[in-house]
Amino acid sequence: MGFFDRPLSVLTGLALVCSLAVPAAAEPASRLDEIVQRGSLRVGMTGDYKPFTYLDKATAKFSGFDVDMAESLGKAMGVKVEFVPTSWPQLMKDFEADKFDVAMGGVSITLDRQKKGFFSTPIMREGKTPIARCTDTAKYQTLSDIDKPGTRVVVNPGGTNERFARANIKAADIRVHTDNVTIFDEIAKGDADLMMTDASETRYQQKLHPGVLCAVHPEKPFDFSEKAYWLQRDVALKAFVDQWLHISTENGSYQAIYKNWFD
């Protein structure tokens, strides 16, 4: 009797034996499972973007809105938070190298970043707007007001601020200042005329430099953008972070953290 002449019941039995003899491939663990098993959430942060994130180099401690949010996320996951220093020019490379599970600290949603990972539900809507010395705000109301020979626009390298400036400024002078913590002092002391950055940052820096630096129409920025948390590409991780954000918004914990840093 040939193999194909065997009764169907025999063939079925042979197939069952074969399936039992070869173990099924184990389901790959999700990034969320890895984080929980590891016991730590690795958070990439530049540490130079107040009030979202600031690294005190003397103490090696991070502080800021997204630092508090990261700690809240870690608590929700039941893991500790490990902050991984990065920089805006290096952020994409570090993300691709899997140096952290999530990037936080005032990260804007971009399509280039979306290609590499997932974004959480947006946490903030805003856009680019100028900040200048208070005596000069009337001079820099529009992009055409700014883009004139002799205007000195200061930018920090590697992020969306520099990208926006280079896309829109052709006649004015663009000056790169590598320290995003001290960059606003360049405007205050007269070494630069203005910076175009996220409206939330202009409001915060206005509070830090009362009567010296003023945000220029932060309620009507030049463009549209949103901030969110940039996640390694894992459906389970995104679902958890989105649910945590939803619950945090509904129970008031998000608003409490926001008020501590922005109001």
Contact 217, 145 (CB under 8 A): no
| CA gap 219, 200 in Å, rounded | 10
**Which domains are delineated in the chain?**
36-125+225-262 (3.40.190.10), 128-215 (3.40.190.10)
| CA gap 167, 91 in Å, rounded | 20
| CA gap 49, 191 in Å, rounded | 20
* Percentage of the chain exceeding pLDDT 90: 86
Per-residue model confidence (pLDDT) at position 16:
44
Tell me, rounded to whole angstroms, the distance of Cα 171 from its chain centroid.
Answer: 31
Q: Is the peptide bond before 51 cis (omega within 30 degrees of 0)?
A: yes
Contact 153, 172 (CB under 8 A): yes
Per-residue model confidence (pLDDT) at position 15:
47
Q: How confident is the model at residue 223 (pLDDT cuts 50, 70, 90)?
A: very high
Per-residue model confidence (pLDDT) at position 51:
93
pTM: 0.80
Tell me, rounded to whole angstroms, the distance of Cα 101 from its chain centroid.
Answer: 12
pLDDT tens digit string along 145-187? 999 999 999 999 988 999 999 999 999 999 999 998 899 999 9
Per-residue model confidence (pLDDT) at position 26:
58
SS3 call for 133: strand
Q: H/E element holding 208?
A: helix 199-208
In the structure encoding, which two tokens stand for residue 72, read together? 């809240």
Q: How confident is the model at residue 12 (pLDDT cuts 50, 70, 90)?
A: very low
User: Region 177-206: what's the mean pLDDT?
Assistant: 95
Nearest to 32 by CA among 242, 239, 229: 239
pLDDT tens digit string along 72-125? 999 999 999 999 999 999 999 999 999 999 999 999 999 999 999 999 999 999
